Structure 1
Amino acid sequence: MTVKTTAQPGPQVPGPGAPHPRALARQRRRASAARFWRQYRTHRAGVLGLVVLVLCVLVALTAPLTVGADAQSVTGAPGGPLESPSARFPLGTDRFGRDLLGLVIWGSRVSLLVGLLAAVLSVAIGTLIGITAGHFRGWYATVMMRITDWFLVMPTLVLAIALATVLSRSLGTVVLAIGVTTWPTTARLVRAQTLAVEARPYIERARALGGGHWHVMSRHVLPNVMPLVLAQTTLIISSAILAEATLAFLGLGDPTVVSWGGLLQDAREAGAVSSGAWWYLVPPGVAIAVVALAFTLCGRAVESVLNPRLGVSR
């Protein structure tokens, strides 16, 4: 009796003309990025916010070349205290005689950096807690969600002020104070998205094929929640910049660096309101409002592109 054996199919080897899997993955990422940009640029408000942010970043990066580091020096101030705007000083001078235009440009570096780092820290904490709470569930999810609820009901600014008061006054303290107090919203959103992703059939197939917890969370859940994380990051940066300005205005920032909130705090100490030195208050305040609004417009546009069901107006 003859026994027929069927050959088992071996691993698929791409032919000479077939694209390499990595090249194919790069091609798909480029196509996805191009598709995202085509949809993003249809949002006029989002494009306007992006243009404003690009200009602000360029101004901040070129500050050492345009205004120089001497603009922060108190000893070599070129003007008199609280001079009103003029041809020499377009935005006037501060209480030490320094050019406010140069100070606002230098302050953009600190405010943008602190806002970005604080937002990244906040989103990282929220994403980690949200994914793990949505994946493991049980007592771990219960404990994490109760901690999240506690942070949600507590005033964020009060917690940030408490942390900034206890720790040393530095930029790292400000970033830490903002990051560890603004993550609960991200954790809630990411957990809800994680529960929705893990209810799909391919997650069950991945587990049946031997995929462990780390494999499921890193290879299946995280890529699906990244669009939400990206949109949340752009929205949180504006809140982080406002929080940094608030802490600096209250005197809890780093006194050795120039930031927009620090300029407002200096104006308050110099009595700019009572003396009528409006030029001391308006430029840093307008800069904070414009950058925060630009990040918000970009965040809403990104959220609308990644989730068209939101129906955000263009």
Structure 2
Amino acid sequence: MTTEATPPVAGAGPRALARQRRRRAAVRFWRQYRTHRAGIVGLAALALFGMIALTAPLTVGSDVASVTGAPGRPLQSPTGEFPLGTDRFGRDLLGLLVWGARVSLLVGLLAAVLSVAIGAVVGITAGHFRGAYATVMMRVTDWFLVMPTLVLAIALATVMPRSLGTVVLAIGVTSWPTTARLVRAQTLAVESRPYIERAKALGGGHCHVMSRHVLPNVMPLVLAQTTLMVSSSILAEATLAFLGLGDPLVVSWGGLLQEAREAGAVSSGDWWYLVPPGIAIAGVALAFTLCGRAVESVLNPRLGVTR
């Protein structure tokens, strides 16, 4: 069932018209997005993970990560009191898993936003100015592309203090080249349109053209790329934490895997120490990927993504 577009309000100012257009665009986006079953499943899973992370202080409490006064025996198998067993310190693994969702999701989101922001700035400026500047920036981008992202992130995290900020920075500054390439290609396509020439002929400067004409046209691509980058950032954070390069004072899913490895959970068969964090990482990464593919399909129907 289709609904007719709301006609512009007579006498409305430019800002009111802009808000009205944005509302119509949001309605159209949601109407198309909800036709993607995989995207809806991913969105529901993300809502569940987000609710678990936000309510963690109320459901498990901040003292769940405390080593002193742990409620159970070390490496206790799952029981009615501890559904996922205990870790090597006797802490409830279910509570640690819930609390770790806060750190893993936060680091993944911040790292993805930083990565996409760097890539968008490089891509837009390189596509707009061209010439020697674009050549230099694209060669730098190519260098980052051929270098293994994880190796660069490990090297950066090794020489900097161990903290969540370091992890975010290490992931963000090493994973932007793909976004820069995509945004530059879109910028070149936008810059070739006639209204860009008219804006320049009417006296529009570089900042005006990039912020008022180029950026709104590349934002759908930036949004889709951000959604897809979150899953990669969460996996990268888990990898760095598993290698012992994360913040040792906070609980994350990758940190739980690293503690399980140090406790010898693999050789001793303590599956409850390894499986839940791994499933949580895979689940949230899959949810973000499903949402990202659905967003990409809505914003670019020519991709023909299967619903």
TM over 0.5: yes
1:218 is aligned to 2:172? no
Identify which of 106, 112, 133 aligns with 2:105.
112
1:238 is aligned to 2:267? no
**Residue 193 of structure 1 aligns to which amino acid in structure 2?**
Q
1:283 is aligned to 2:295? no
1:183-237 CA distance string (max 9 Å, x none): 0000000000000000000000000000000000000000000000000000000
Write the distance in 2 (CA, Å) between the matches of 1:148 and 1:136.
Answer: 16
Identify which of 285, 290, 295 aligns with 1:292.
285
Write the distance in 1 (CA, Å) between the matches of 2:38 and 2:54.
Answer: 24
- Identify if the C-alpha distance between structure 1 residues 23 and 279 changes in structure 2 by more than 3 Å, giving closer, same or farther: same
Q: TM-score, normalised by structure 1?
A: 0.94
Counterpart in 1 of 2:257?
A: 264
Write the distance in 1 (CA, Å) between the matches of 2:139 and 2:12.
Answer: 49
1:155-198 CA distance string (max 9 Å, x none): 00000000000001000000000000000000000000000000
Equivalent residues in 2 for 1:99-248, closer than 5 Å? 99-248=92-241
**Residue 117 of structure 1 aligns to which amino acid in structure 2?**
L
**Residue 241 of structure 1 aligns to which amino acid in structure 2?**
I
SS at match of 2:198: helix
SS at match of 1:264: helix
Write the distance in 1 (CA, Å) between the matches of 2:10 and 2:190.
Answer: 36
Write the distance in 2 (CA, Å) between the matches of 1:136 and 1:152.
Answer: 22
Counterpart in 1 of 2:15?
A: 22
Write the distance in 2 (CA, Å) between the matches of 1:156 and 1:299.
Answer: 21
1:34 is aligned to 2:20? no
Counterpart in 1 of 2:56?
A: 63
Q: Which runs of 4+ in 1 moved over 4 A?
A: none
**Residue 31 of structure 2 aligns to which amino acid in structure 1?**
R
1:32-74 CA distance string (max 9 Å, x none): 1011000000000000000000110111010000001111111
Uncovered stretches (5+) of structure 1, i.e. residues with no partner: 1-15
**Residue 216 of structure 2 aligns to which amino acid in structure 1?**
P
Contact 1:67 1:102 in 2 (8 A): yes
Q: TM-score, normalised by structure 2?
A: 0.96
**Residue 77 of structure 2 aligns to which amino acid in structure 1?**
S
Per the TM alignment, residue 28 of structure 1 is displaced from its structure 2 partner at its CA by 1.3
Write the distance in 1 (CA, Å) between the matches of 2:240 and 2:150.
Answer: 9
Write the distance in 1 (CA, Å) between the matches of 2:228 and 2:14.
Answer: 35
Contact 1:70 1:76 in 2 (8 A): no
How many pairs does the alignment contain?
A: 299
Write the distance in 2 (CA, Å) between the matches of 1:141 and 1:69.
Answer: 49
Per the TM alignment, residue 24 of structure 1 is displaced from its structure 2 partner at its CA by 1.9
Write the distance in 2 (CA, Å) between the matches of 1:33 and 1:17.
Answer: 22
Write the distance in 1 (CA, Å) between the matches of 2:13 and 2:132.
Answer: 45
SS at match of 1:49: helix
Per the TM alignment, residue 19 of structure 1 is displaced from its structure 2 partner at its CA by 2.3
Specify the structure having the higher radius of gyration (Cα): 1
Per the TM alignment, residue 21 of structure 1 is displaced from its structure 2 partner at its CA by 2.5
Q: CA RMSD in A?
A: 0.9
